[in-house]
């Protein structure tokens, strides 16, 4: 290298350093009129409890400032807004001197129901001063949500709501955006501009010193491609598993509690199992109640995790969900090898994630169902499978049934393949086909007999094979069909993690049928063109389609919940795996396919980072802890082994106090009759105000009235429940 070249390089480096210094100087300067906006929103009740804003009758919200603050916007959450409405909502604000501080008219069609929206308002509140916010609906009747009164209040003012001159005992879904003057640099405004400038300058200096070609050659020499080709899929699976675990823990434990009535039943039985009560659902409460409404396997799995980890039942169900997601990923890894990352994207389905948040049996069911379909495909695809595969198929089929009663349908699927094998044997006279058909028949027969024996045991112990009557009650079949159409469209959109597009959502149901028909026709055409008989993909797709059809038929002949994602997601999961297997040959090896993999990995990493940034793992003020504290407080007056009459405590707490049962009293009941009915309980509890109403009605039997009067006389001041000993 000549002296001239050295001088040029030094000159270029100095120029780069000077440019970097200038950029850092500019980025470090404070921007004029810098403000920081902070969004403060109240916690909203989960139950559908509203504050109605009626046509022509204003809601008056009295605000008393706790501190002096500048408000840049008010935030509102409204529901029950018709998309066809052309009305308005007028929002005005005055101070105590009747000076108008805000007057905005919001067209209803610009408001999205169920989402917070902003109303700009540059208003300064003075500590100790009061203000009146008036909300008037014209041509519309929107609803506000009620806010939680016992939650930590982040708002800078106290709120008192009145309607028609009457003060309401609740707040409403009203928040604010506050603004404060701060010194903000241009580097803070332009995210990552400082490190990007430094990295860019470093890259330029290296290129100047060593040459662009040499630097490019050095980067190309790093074996990124070989590394990711060999380990990329496994790294993605590990990354996805971590992201799913973080999401479940944050969403379903720290930030919320996902317990339905079914969930409460699973958790209550799990607690009874850990206390040695076995199948006795109300064993801790003193009753003989055989657990038959659901199969036992899922509560038993929760109980096992409780005993191993020492966690409470709800947290144990979330730990179990994480373990089951790991099992799904392991199965996918074993089945699809290096392409497993692509198939694992099925776990990002909105429907699957919602199942994972709730304490429901669908996740373990999907583990066993996927294993069953893959083993069945292996048996069908091999010329002469070993006995161990038939044994494993039987175990997985039985596990499907013991997780969900509907799991017995797997033997119907097996039966269809058995008939196909017998037909092929009659055509080819191949003894291998006959042996395979007979072996599958023996496996299906054994699994079916064991399943029926379980149902028979339920019938003997409970009186009904599945715990409750599944016969038809009144159903609106038009609504049921509409729900089916909506549910199937939702399944399609859930695959892509989107909601049903607004355009399609507005279609009448008889037109949505055509949308669904186009989608199903396209999928059917793609499958017919690409699928081969007895392959892994064909078994996955056939099992999924059978699930859809059988479940739909059963729902029309027996009553249960209406169609929604919970019922169809296990089938959608298998169908997506099968379709991805058919699609993969068209994508493998394409450069865009690798870019897609990298983009998805980056999104997963960013999703995990966002949870940490938003405090999603801070359990110190976790929602479960707050909710369980409320349950504890609500139940503190109820002794062990009690029956609570007209129970109005949060139903989710029914597993939290498994020694308590719910009950009712009719005017014809006597105390002796109640003691016989609630033989397992030592105490009868009823809220004092309910007892007072019963006494004032004069309708109840004398012995019940006497017990209630005595219980009310013994109530201490401040107590809420009348407690009556049942001895």
Q: How confident is the model at residue 84 (pLDDT cuts 50, 70, 90)?
A: low
Q: Which single residue is written with the structure tokens 């690798």? A: 594
- pLDDT-derived band at 54 (thresholds 50, 70, 90) equals confident
Residue 609 confidence (pLDDT): 81
Task: Using pLDDT thresholds of 50, 70 and 90, give the confidence band for residue 81.
Answer: low
Percent of the chain with pLDDT over 70: 95
Q: How is domain 36-181 classified at the CATH fold level?
A: Jelly Rolls (2.60.120)
Can you tell me the mean pLDDT for 315-332?
96
Among the ranges given (83-87, 196-200, 321-325), the one the predictor scored with the smallest mean pLDDT: 83-87
Query: Average pLDDT of 151-160?
Result: 79
Q: Give tens-digit pLDDT for 293-306.
A: 889 999 999 999 99
What letters, b where the CB count within 10 A reaches 16 and e where it falls short, cover 90-118?
A: ebbbebeeeeebbeeebebeebeeeeeee
Window from 82-96, 231-245, 251-265 with minimum mean pLDDT: 82-96
Name the most confidently modeled range: 381-395, 469-483, 485-499, 600-614: 381-395
Collapsed DSSP state (helix, strand, coil) of residue 34 = coil
Residue 32: Cβ-neighbour burial (10 angstroms; 0-12, 13-18, 19+): exposed
In angstroms, rounded to a whole number, what is the distance separating the alpha carbons of residues 73 and 175? 9
8 A C-beta contact, residue 370 and residue 331? yes
How many Å apart are CA 473 and CA 105, to the nearest integer?
48
Tokens 């929604």 correspond to what residue?
564
Task: Lowest mean pLDDT of 85-89, 354-358, 627-631, 679-683, name the range.
Answer: 85-89
Q: What is the mean pLDDT of residues 626-648?
A: 88
Per-residue pLDDT band for 387 (boundaries 50, 70, 90) equals: very high
pLDDT per residue over 453-462, tens digit each? 999 998 898 8
Query: Which pLDDT does position 318 carry in this prediction?
Result: 95
Domain extents in the chain? 3-30+186-222, 36-181, 292-588, 624-725
pLDDT tens digits, one per residue of 509-521: 889 899 999 999 9
Q: For the chain, what is the mean pLDDT?
A: 86
The pLDDT, as a whole number, for residue 85 is: 58
* Element containing residue 721 per DSSP (H, E): strand 721-725
pLDDT beyond 60 at 83 = no
The pLDDT of residue 449 is: 94
548 closest CA partner among 488, 483, 498: 488
Taking a C-beta distance cutoff of 8 angstroms, is the pair 708, 686 a contact?
A: yes
pLDDT band at residue 270 using 50, 70 and 90 as cut-offs: very high
pLDDT tens readout for residues 106-138: 888 788 877 888 888 888 888 889 999 898 888
Q: Higher-confidence residue: 467 or 18?
A: 18
pLDDT at 224 over 70: no
- Residue with the larger pLDDT of the pair 408 and 560: 408
Confidence category of residue 184, pLDDT binned at 50, 70, 90: confident
- Pull the structure tokens for residue 206: 């290296």
Contact status, residue 421 vs residue 437, Cβ threshold 8 Å: yes
Q: How far apart are CA 354 and CA 566, in angstroms?
A: 8
**Is the overall model pTM greater than 0.75, yes or no?**
yes
For residue 1, the model assigns a pLDDT of 62
- Going by pLDDT thresholds of 50, 70 and 90, the confidence category of residue 546 is very high
Rounded mean pLDDT, 606-631: 79
31: phi then psi, degrees, rounded to nearest 5: -75, 150
Cβ contacts of 356 within 8 Å, gap of 6 or more: 244, 247, 248, 252, 321, 325, 363
In this model, does residue 542 exceed pLDDT 80?
A: yes
Q: Determine the average pLDDT of the residues in 693-721.
A: 88
The tens digit of pLDDT for each residue in 390-415 reads 999 999 999 999 999 999 999 999 99
| Residue 151: pLDDT over 60 | no
pLDDT of residue 473: 57
- Helix, strand, coil content of the chain in percent (nearest 5): 60, 15, 25
| Closest by Cα among 106, 57, 51 to 80 | 51
151-155, 286-290, 714-718: which has the highest mean pLDDT? Answer: 286-290
Give every strand in the sheet of 683-687, ordered side by side. Answer: 661-663, 642-645, 683-687, 721-725
């Amino acid at each position: 290298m000549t002296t001239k070249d050295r001088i040029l390089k030094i000159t270029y480096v100095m120029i780069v350093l000077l440019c970097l210094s200038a950029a850092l100087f500019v980025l470090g300067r404070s921007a004029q009129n810098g403000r920081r906006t902070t969004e403060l929103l109240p916690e909203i009740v989960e139950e559908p409890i509203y504050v109605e804003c009626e046509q022509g009758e204003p809601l008056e919200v009295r605000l008393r400032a706790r501190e002096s603050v500048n408000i840049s916007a008010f935030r509102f959450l409204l529901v029950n807004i018709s998309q066809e409405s052309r009305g308005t909502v007028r929002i005005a604000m005055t101070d105590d001197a009747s000076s108008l501080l805000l007057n905005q008219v919001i067209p209803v069609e610009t408001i999205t129901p169920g989402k917070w929206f902003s109303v700009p308002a540059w208003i300064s509140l003075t500590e100790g001063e009061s203000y009146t916010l008036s909300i008037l609906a014209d041509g519309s009747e929107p609803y506000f949500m009620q806010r939680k009164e016992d939650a930590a209040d982040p708002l800078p003012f106290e709120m008192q709501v009145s309607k028609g001159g009457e003060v309401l005992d609740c707040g409403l879904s009203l928040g604010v955006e506050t603004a404060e003057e701060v010194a903000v640099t241009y580097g803070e405004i332009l995210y990552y501009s400082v490190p990007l400038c430094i990295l860019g300058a470093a890259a330029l200096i290296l290129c100047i010193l060593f040459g662009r070609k040499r630097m490019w050659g050095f980067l190309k020499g790093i074996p990124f491609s070989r590394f990711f080709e060999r380990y990329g899929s496994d790294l993605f699976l590990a990354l996805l598993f971590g992201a799913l675990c973080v999401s479940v823990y944050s969403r379903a434990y720290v930030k919320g509690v996902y317990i339905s009535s079914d969930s409460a039943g699973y958790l209550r039985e799990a607690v009874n199992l850990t206390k040695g009560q076995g199948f006795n659902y109300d064993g801790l409460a003193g009753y003989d109640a055989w657990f038959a409404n659901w199969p036992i396997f899922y509560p038993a799995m929760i109980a096992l995790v409780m005993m191993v980890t020492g966690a409470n039942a709800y947290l144990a169900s979330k730990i179990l969900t994480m373990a089951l997601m790991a099992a799904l990923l392991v199965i996918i890894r074993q089945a699809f090898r290096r392409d497993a990352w692509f198939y694992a994207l099925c776990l990002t389905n909105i429907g699957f994630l919602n199942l994972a948040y709730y304490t429901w049996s669908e996740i373990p069911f999907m583990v066993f169902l996927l294993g069953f379909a893959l083993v069945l495909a292996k048996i069908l695809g091999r010329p002469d499978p070993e006995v161990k595969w038939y044994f494993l198929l039987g175990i997985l089929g039985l596990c499907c049934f013991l997780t969900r009663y509907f799991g017995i349908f797997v033997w119907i699927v097996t039966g269809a393949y058995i008939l196909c094998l017998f037909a092929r044997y009659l055509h080819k006279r191949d003894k291998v086909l006959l042996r395979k058909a007979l072996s599958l028949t023996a496996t299906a027969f054994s699994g079916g007999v064991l399943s029926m024996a379980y149902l028979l045991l339920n019938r003997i112990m409970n009186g009904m094979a599945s715990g409750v009557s599944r016969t038809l009650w009144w159903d609106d079949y038009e609504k049921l069909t509409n729900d089916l159409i909506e549910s199937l469209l939702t399944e399609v959109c859930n695959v892509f993690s989107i909601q049903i597009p607004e355009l399609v959502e507005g279609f009448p149901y008889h037109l949505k049928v055509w949308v669904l028909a186009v989608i199903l026709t396209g999928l059917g055409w793609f499958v017919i063109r690409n699928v081969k008989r007895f392959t892994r993909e064909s078994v996955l797709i056939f099992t999924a389609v059978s699930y859809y059809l059988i479940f739909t038929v059963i729902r029309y002949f027996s009553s249960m919940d209406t169609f929604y994602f919970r019922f169809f997601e296990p089938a959608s999961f298998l169908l997506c795996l099968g379709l991805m297997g058919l699609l993969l040959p068209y994508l493998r090896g394409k450069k865009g396919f690798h870019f897609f993999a990298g983009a998805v990995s980056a999104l997963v990493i960013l999703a995990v980072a966002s949870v940490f940034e938003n405090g999603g793992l801070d359990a110190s003020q976790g929602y479960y802890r707050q909710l369980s504290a409320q349950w504890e407080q609500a139940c503190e007056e109820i002794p062990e082994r009690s029956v609570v009459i007209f129970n109005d405590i949060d139903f989710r707490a029914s597993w939290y106090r498994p020694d308590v049962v719910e009950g009712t009293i009719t005017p014809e009941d006597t105390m002796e009759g109640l003691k016989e009915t609630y033989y397992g309980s030592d105490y009868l509890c009823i809220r004092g105000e309910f007892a007072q109403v019963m006494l004032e009605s004069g309708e109840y039997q004398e012995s019940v009235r006497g017990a209630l009067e005595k219980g009310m006389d013994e109530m201490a001041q401040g107590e809420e429940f009348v407690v009556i000993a049942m001895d």
